[in-house]
Structure 1
């Protein structure tokens, strides 16, 4: 039995279509070209402020627009759940992990309000003993503070972090926690170039990984 903390976007959920749609409303209001889905995916992972910075840079907009565009995105973001899907096997995996006695948490760079909104949308809000978003603390991943705070909130002890990206790998490394890399998310770096303890491409595999980790 152990503590298992998950990233959210690109790990448990494929939220890129909703993020793309919300971001395109912001870009459309600035009179510039919208993003396609691959471009939007490439901007995800470091939190909403960085997402906006990348959108501004990609469209050559004035950086002074950041606060206005970010506020608009955040207004849209909380209800941006209807194009989001769970990755295959997530529900059964979470059931199996809970049945095995593991304590589950979320540590994501997605702001806390939309994080909780999408968890409610999938009726998963009661599965996680602690939820840390990108604005829960003054710092975001890859700073290890949110992950370590989530770990403490779940009672500490042996732990595993599960994520999909370069940011997640760096966060786990900085926090000195074992890292399980989900390969179907939003990473841009080859798997063998990312530090990880375990690797998997379907959530059917995660209960066995957890059993090995906490043996």
Structure 2
């Protein structure tokens, strides 16, 4: 099976890292820091949307958008100290690969920071296809990045695994079964999102996928 994963909120908990970078920039601008809940709520639609939401929350002008985004992304590519894999991800990844599944990544994180954090966490070479938020001219929930990632993995049954409303909509628009990781950055009740199933522990993932495949 071809299995594509989201990244932030699905494989990695990056919210503390993103919050720290954002708060460093806000301090330089003389603005109050974001809470972890605020930062988490702003994640999911790419760096540009994150910065726009941060600006609105701290009354920063629209004219500052591109400068703030450039400063954010420059730090984002080299800041990893607070980013962690969710528990059980390495073992689940090994089990899926051993079972013959092909693994890919489809995230709204820009491709530069995506590749940098994969290298930092020892995941380089694990995914046969990696698509970031700027790999194409559109990003999730447009289905094109997911379809491109899955297409790059060949043919056969497929599945998308993510944690958010954006991921669920992307899979639905692509016509791809969606498996929801419930411990990420979702705001909507899990049962309200379109899905083929959900899980809260990566130790469950291999069996969950085997049951879906049946």
CA drift of 1:214 comes to: 2.2
CA drift of 1:212 comes to: 1.9
Match of 1:87 in 2: 86
Match of 2:104 in 1: 105
String of CA shifts for 1:78-100, please: whole Å, max 9, x gaps: 01211001111000000000000
Match of 2:56 in 1: 57
Match of 2:207 in 1: 208
| Helix, strand or coil at the partner of 1:79 | coil
Where does 1:20-169 land on structure 2 (aligned, <5 Å)?
Answer: 20-169=19-168
With normalisation by structure 2, the TM-score equals: 0.98
Match of 2:191 in 1: 192
CA drift of 1:156 comes to: 2.7
Flag structure 2 segments of 5+ consecutive residues without an equivalent. none
String of CA shifts for 1:157-207, please: whole Å, max 9, x gaps: 210100000000000000000000000000000011111111000001110
CA distance in 1, matches of 2:202, 2:147: 24
Query: Does the CA contact (< 8 Å) of 1:48 and 1:110 recur in 2?
Result: yes
Runs of 4+ in 1 over 3 A off after TM superposition: none
| Helix, strand or coil at the partner of 1:104 | strand
| Helix, strand or coil at the partner of 2:116 | helix
CA distance in 1, matches of 2:81, 2:64: 27
Q: Cα gap change, 1:156/1:80 in structure 2, threshold over 3 Å: closer, same or farther?
A: farther
CA drift of 1:213 comes to: 2.3
With normalisation by structure 1, the TM-score equals: 0.98
| Helix, strand or coil at the partner of 2:127 | coil
Flag structure 1 segments of 5+ consecutive residues without an equivalent. none
